[in-house]
Structure 1
Amino acid sequence: MRPNVIINAYACSPNKGSEPGMGWNWIISISKFCNIHIITEGEWKTEIEESITDLPQGINLTFYYLPVSDKIRNMCWNQGDWRFYYYYHKWQKRALKQAEVICETVSIDIIHQLNMVGYREPGMLWKIKDIPVVWGPIGGFGGIPTPFLKSFSNKEAIKQKIKQAINNIQVYTPYIQKAIKKSDVLIACNSVAKNKLQHFRKDKVLVISEAGSLISSNKNTRNYNFETLKILWIGRNIKSKALSIALETMTELNDLNIELNVLGVDKSEAHLPNEETQNVNFHSWIPHEEVQNFFNSSHLLLFTSLYEATGTVVLESLAKGVPVICHDTCGQGDIIDSMCGVKVPMKSVDYSIQTFSKEIRNLYFNKNLIKSLSDGAYAKAKEFQWENKGKLMNDIYFNLLNKK
């Protein structure tokens, strides 16, 4: 018998990445095993309704839309705009009322607070009595190590320090502590979040990455007897993504035939270390199909991010058989190992630049190792397939129901 589940997912879209894509992929994966009632904001209502008709499990999905204004939507996607949390909190009150209405007409077995992933707003569905609650994946803990703040402006560095101080305090507020204690199952998105949440729970905190992978049916037949080593960097030009470290790394490799393609950043936005950095190509916004073409023709992904839950691009890269070179931190630090990439300890900006360049130089002269890492990338991606998350969550739900 399929359990009836309410999922609270503010952000949900079949055509987007990041939080909206994460929400959609978790939901459609779980819906293969459960009947789901989804409470979402509705920015992508049209896309959702069109996509449901193409899904075999579409009959198991019922969406409830609670839209907000374009102004609030812009605040949401403008990272760093703290005003959004005021409106998001008000939206969660609406979500609670909607969930209560659903419970009046449907026999709900499980409530799942899915996203946004950050711990600061856990929603209010845990207030509904006598129904087990799952919260997660949960992230937002940790921060950018102090040595890396030297690459920030003084204003930005101070802002980051304040943010990290608030991070360390805010989790102790009664509102968040009640959600932590009232939830029957907590799911951390990475080991950093798990270690923090474990302080407040005697029972085990699970770890499930918020990101997932879709494995291509056909492996790429990229050329490993290359003349030019092609490296990919994908992201927005914000300080936490540390594009500057990638660009500085490339200046250390000017003597080699290496090409870095930067996706998501226009050249006018970037600050090249010097005019000798000739081996970098910039591509601002490009369609998703073209991004896939870049994956198919690249040998490595350079992921320099300093702080996030798990970069969705990391698993997307692995699914394409592209090994990842990254910092040993956050979700990517949990996922990447010596079988599918290279991790660099976070010591300082200079250390990262020198170590990234050393590792890339080593791979440039060791093409067989790149091929081996590519095979390992495919294998690693299979561990994180979206379908596996659906099966895993179904097991978690049934374990909860068996305890009732």
Structure 2
Amino acid sequence: MTETSTLRRLRVLLSAYACEPGKGSEPGTGWHMAMELAKRYDVTVLTRANDRGPIEKELAESTGPRPTFLYHDLSGLYRFLKKRRILPTQLYYAMWQRDTRRMLETKSVSDFDIFHHITFNSFEISPGVPAGFRGALVRGPLGGGQTAPPALLESLGWLDKLKEQARSARVRKSAASSRLQRDLAACDLILHANHETGDLLKQGQENRRDPMIDVGVDPSKFSPADHAKDGTRILSASNFEPRKGTRLLLLAFQRAHQDNPSLRLLLAGSGKLLAQDMAWVEANRLSNSVSFLGKLDHQKMADELSAADVFVFPSLRDTSGAIVLEAMACGLPIVCLDHQGAKVMVGDCCGMRISPESLEGTLDGIARAILKLASNVSLRESMGHRARERVLAEFSWEKKASRLSEEYQRLV
């Protein structure tokens, strides 16, 4: 007997502001979870009208059960202001949540068994509750409670350091707000994507909360790496922005390169710090050993992962990191900081997690981890194999939807 045949067929209203096929991060989470849950339940997805084109195209080409989509966006003026970055995304998002609640007043929301808000995953902006809804409320997996380690802020410029400190203060204040506490208390289940967010939100809350990473991966899209190579291709991928820790990685790689000049670092991505980091590489005479790949599409990124030997994720602040799961699906050992979502995804068996307690210790730890993995093919092979096994067992979209389905069944 299949899992689906034994389930009570629920009606699920999924709030997914970010939801788009072919994307990573939160848009990918919204899309993949909607499609997987639709195999088990009658799913209606509330999302942005802006993404209707790619969604409808993908639905037309798909087979099997599909969700129903409700599209909504603010007026053209607000979209124009958002596109020009005059209206901040978070403010637009809060206004979108308000408008969708009004829109749902014309729908029969009382017919739904579950109202699950899944994206955006920030705990700071509540989706509220549709008027007339009487079913179970689910939020998450929530993130945003993580903050950059104070010791590593020294790797940033003074202005970026100040911005991170201000954000950390705002996060603490937001978590203590009475409105947030009321909104969370109304939930039947709160999922948190990392322990930092879970610990921040648990004060005064008696309702159930469980850990669940917010991202997933389709392992069939990624080919395992060839571990017979020489171990010198070190890959990292992210936006070039302060919190992503690219400069931290460059400083650590510089140390590792002094001991093993054959090492090569490949950096994929784009962003405001790209030019500065390229200039730093040039000034430190590492141009022959560090390559900037630019922003890659999904297929090219998958190809680079399969060709790499080690993946490094040096982020100072991240709810999770879908790219980490993609690297693990390719059978790559991971080097990351021992915090936040990376700590949840990367076990001791499949990577090396570096304590972020001090800047010097972190730089030395990343450098040593790179050198150790680069020089030990059996360790790379063992960790890489277990990394892919871990993804298959816990982090595929199918596994995540199956676990979420179990949570739904408990609630009703």
- The residue aligned with 1:327 is 337
2:26 counterpart of 1:19:
yes
- The residue aligned with 2:106 is 101
Of 357, 361, 367 in structure 2, the residue corresponding to residue 351 of structure 1 is: 361
Seen in structure 2, the aligned counterparts of structure 1 residues 344 and 394 have a Cα distance that, compared at 3 Å, is same
1:261-285 deviations in Å (ceiling 9; x for gaps) = 1001386342425432231100112
Of 256, 279, 284 in structure 2, the residue corresponding to residue 275 of structure 1 is: 284
SS at match of 1:253: helix
Aligned-residue offset at 1:71: 3.5
1:82-120 deviations in Å (ceiling 9; x for gaps) = 83333222211111123332326x721111111100011
Of 107, 114, 117 in structure 1, the residue corresponding to residue 118 of structure 2 is: 114
**Greater CA drift, 180-189 or 243-252:** 243-252
Correspondence 1:203-242 to 2 at 5 A: 203-216=207-220, 219-220=223-224, 222-224=226-228, 226-227=229-230, 229-242=232-245
2:62 counterpart of 1:50:
no
- The residue aligned with 2:88 is 83
SS at match of 2:69: strand
Aligned-residue offset at 1:126: 6.0
How far apart are the structure 1 equivalents of 2:45 and 2:82? 19
How far apart are the structure 1 equivalents of 2:143 and 2:335? 22
Of 302, 314, 324 in structure 2, the residue corresponding to residue 292 of structure 1 is: 302
AA matched with 2:186: K
Of 386, 389, 400 in structure 2, the residue corresponding to residue 389 of structure 1 is: 400
Paired residues in the alignment total: 394
SS at match of 1:272: helix
Seen in structure 2, the aligned counterparts of structure 1 residues 320 and 228 have a Cα distance that, compared at 3 Å, is closer
How far apart are the structure 2 equivalents of 1:219 and 1:18? 20
Q: TM-score, normalized by length of structure 2?
A: 0.90
Seen in structure 2, the aligned counterparts of structure 1 residues 248 and 259 have a Cα distance that, compared at 3 Å, is same
How far apart are the structure 2 equivalents of 1:203 and 1:150? 39
1:345-400 deviations in Å (ceiling 9; x for gaps) = 01222221111111111122211100001111111111111001211122111211
How far apart are the structure 2 equivalents of 1:126 and 1:307? 32
1:310-368 deviations in Å (ceiling 9; x for gaps) = 01111111111111100001011112122111000012222211111111111222111
1:35-81 deviations in Å (ceiling 9; x for gaps) = 1111111222111001112333444x111111244435447xx7xx9
1:147-178 deviations in Å (ceiling 9; x for gaps) = 11122222222222111111101122233122
Contact 2:310 2:373 in 1 (8 A): no
Contact 1:8 1:112 in 2 (8 A): yes
How far apart are the structure 1 equivalents of 2:207 and 2:358? 36
Unpaired runs of 5+ residues, structure 2, are 1-7
Of 375, 390, 397 in structure 2, the residue corresponding to residue 380 of structure 1 is: 390
How far apart are the structure 1 equivalents of 2:217 and 2:386? 14
Seen in structure 2, the aligned counterparts of structure 1 residues 89 and 113 have a Cα distance that, compared at 3 Å, is same
How far apart are the structure 2 equivalents of 1:218 and 1:385? 12
Of 264, 268, 271 in structure 2, the residue corresponding to residue 263 of structure 1 is: 268
Of 57, 62, 76 in structure 1, the residue corresponding to residue 68 of structure 2 is: 62
Aligned-residue offset at 1:218: 7.7
Aligned-residue offset at 1:29: 1.5
Aligned-residue offset at 1:308: 1.0
How far apart are the structure 2 equivalents of 1:228 and 1:119? 40
Seen in structure 2, the aligned counterparts of structure 1 residues 26 and 70 have a Cα distance that, compared at 3 Å, is same
How far apart are the structure 1 equivalents of 2:131 and 2:73? 22
- The residue aligned with 1:158 is 162
How far apart are the structure 2 equivalents of 1:72 and 1:316? 34
Contact 2:82 2:92 in 1 (8 A): no
Contact 2:223 2:329 in 1 (8 A): no
Aligned-residue offset at 1:204: 3.4
- The residue aligned with 1:370 is 380
